Chain A
Amino acid sequence: MTPTLASATRPPRNDRASDAPGRGRAQRDTTLGSRIGVMSVLVLATIYFLLPIWWLIVASTKPAGRQFSGNGLWFEGFGLFENIALVFEVNDGVFGQWMLNSVFYAGTSALIGTVISAMAGYAIAKYEFRGRGVVFGIILAAVLIPKIMFTLPLFLMFNQVGLLNTPIAMLLPSIVSPFGVYLARVFAAQSVPDELIEAGRLDGAGEFRVFRSVSMRIMAPALVTIFLFQFVEVWNNYLLPAMVLNDTSLQPVVVGLVGWSGSNGVVPAGTVVVGAFLSVIPLLIAFLFLQRFWRAGLTAGAIK
């Protein structure tokens, strides 16, 4: 952890600043050979990363039932809308229910989780109290041990107390995010000045009031980052919902899709391809438009 904290507090070289003056110089500095070498490796890597996604997009647009025919990398006829309609028709439209479930689970737990993480991280960053070191140590340890490790014990416990097959069994574990607390602590320490908290206190505001109307506002961009990481983590979580939610109508889209894909052709493979494509659209959009928030989280020592 220490290394990332250190790197987070060191001011990053501004990308654009190092780009702009470097541009003219770079032309002189770099040889054509090195430019070709660097660019060809980068292009090869990009092909590896993007080709499967490209294939998914192309296959989804091909007419129903012909997802795997012809050249895998180029369009052949157009049936995207028809395909989408088909996906929503299987099993009485259960796919739509799955997407809504995913939005509900990820949105609700990320929202509540962000507030809880912000409070905890803020307390650790801005208050001196006995036991602070111990609490932070425990949180770091929890960040180190992947959540998936706790899933089977959670299943056993929920089974005992009769919580299986309820949304609570999915939501409760998703709300808790030690990584969110860690990020909140880093961001609060960096961005909220002690003087401002003092000023709020002198104005007669209570501690919680200061937190809500001063500190939370300053931490807002950081809170978006925490929300985003948690949203994606919950959306992508497979093992937990697969174990605690048996009822198809309660499952999130990733569990539903895996069920389709393992159905040995009961649901046509082409439909699974289009379903997979639809299920990643919300995340792809979030990634493309919220890039700077991702980088903020990764700079602060992204872990999960």
Chain B
Amino acid sequence: MSAITTGATSARTLRWRTPWLFLLPFLVLFVAIYVAPILFAFTQSLFTLQRDGLGLTAPTLAFDPFANYARVFGDAEFQASLGRVLLFGIVQVPIMLGLALLIALLIDSKSARGRGFFRMASFLPFAIPGVVAAVMWSFLYSPVTSPINGFLESAFGFSIPFFSDGLALWSVANVVTWVWTGYNMLIIYSALQTIPAETLEAAKIDGASATRIAWSIKIPMVRPALILTTVFSIIGSAQLFNEPTVLKSISGGAITSTYTPLMAAQSSVAAQNYPYAAAQSVVLAVLVGVASFVFFKLTSRGEQ
């Protein structure tokens, strides 16, 4: 009797334990790589570096929980970088996703030939690492080597100042658009493939034109994919780092070392002011976290 009970209990314990054993390696690493650094950075952000007047001894840390955060919110460069990525997101994300949607609809349309080729061609830039794409575009932009300007000058007698104050941000945006449009296009295209053929057939029998079907049936039905790609593109804008970092060296000063929030935090690391870099990272993580949460809520409400 008692043996049976023990057997049953241990079987139940085993069942209860199994999924956690499967999850264990992931959870341990997750805590070490995601949770611990954030807690560590948060703790570090509560201290400030105290240097003595002559800078002869190593700086010491003093507990001063608000000093770094006060400095972050008063840091004009950091705020400018936040404003810059906000502007970037507002302009670049709709252009990129509009382009992705247009290409997805065209490839999906009956008039298209060579679907596989066009899909592949627009996805190919995604195979190129972001920084390598930026290195490549830096040659296409560079005042010295640009084949684009070489062509424009010989054919039309003008050139594009890719790194003028007004254009630099959009030169960066072009690299991002070039890399990510095909990726977003494929997500939208995959969603288009799930629209039942009967729905489209019915609309056609009712006499709807291809444009009308695209506008009134296809686009509303891929709305979840559009929301998803929008959310991730906006979050992607907030973490802008690779492209401006690479283009900085040939931008003639138009792109500074604090051009985006992440670059600003990185330059604090380079200046060895770790507590301040930690505070900047925490602020940035919180901003992105809040934005994600809000979008996630909006998305799931839209779905009900």
Contact surface of A with B, Cβ cutoff 8 Å: 2-4, 6-7, 10-13, 15, 18-19, 22, 25-26, 29-30, 34-35, 37-39, 41-42, 45-46, 48-50, 52-53, 55-56, 59, 67-68, 72-73, 116-117, 119-120, 122-124, 127, 129, 132, 135, 138, 141-142, 144-146, 148-150, 152-157, 159-160, 172-173, 175-176, 178, 181, 207-208, 211, 232, 235-236, 238-239, 243, 254, 257-258, 261-262, 264, 269, 272-273, 276, 279-280, 283-284, 286-288, 291, 294-295, 298-299, 301-304
Q: In the complex the two chains form, is A52's CB within 8 Å of B178's CB?
A: yes
How far apart are A6's CB and chain B's nearest CB, in angstroms?
A: 7
The one of B32, B124, B292 in contact with A287, judged by C-beta atoms closer than 8 angstroms, is: B124
The B contact surface, by secondary structure, is helix
In this assembly, does B183 line the interface, its C-beta being within 8 Å of a C-beta of chain A? yes
**What are some 26 contacts across the A-B interface (CB < 8 A)?**
A4-B224, A11-B194, A13-B195, A39-B112, A39-B113, A49-B178, A119-B23, A120-B25, A144-B292, A144-B296, A149-B239, A152-B262, A156-B41, A156-B278, A157-B36, A157-B40, A173-B33, A176-B30, A176-B34, A208-B21, A239-B242, A272-B135, A288-B120, A295-B190, A301-B228, A303-B232
Q: In the complex the two chains form, is B29's CB within 8 Å of A18's CB?
A: no
- 6 smallest beta-carbon distances between A and B, as pairs: A3-B224, A72-B147, A153-B37, A123-B22, A153-B41, A127-B19
Find the residue from A15, A42, A207, A284 having the highest chain B CB count within 10 A.
Answer: A42
Q: In the complex the two chains form, is A7's CB within 8 Å of B194's CB?
A: yes
List CB contacts (< 8 Å) of B21-50 with chain A.
21-23, 25-27, 29-30, 32-34, 36-38, 40-41, 44
Given contacts A2-B300, A41-B106, A153-B41, contact A120 B112 (CB under 8 A): no
The one of B26, B121, B123, B227 in contact with A119, judged by C-beta atoms closer than 8 angstroms, is: B26
CA gap between A15 and B133 in the complex, in Å: 31
A residues near B36, Cβ cutoff 8 Å: 157
In this assembly, does B95 line the interface, its C-beta being within 8 Å of a C-beta of chain A? no
Find the residue from B27, B121, B126, B278 having the highest chain A CB count within 10 A.
Answer: B121
A residues near B288, Cβ cutoff 8 Å: 145-146, 149
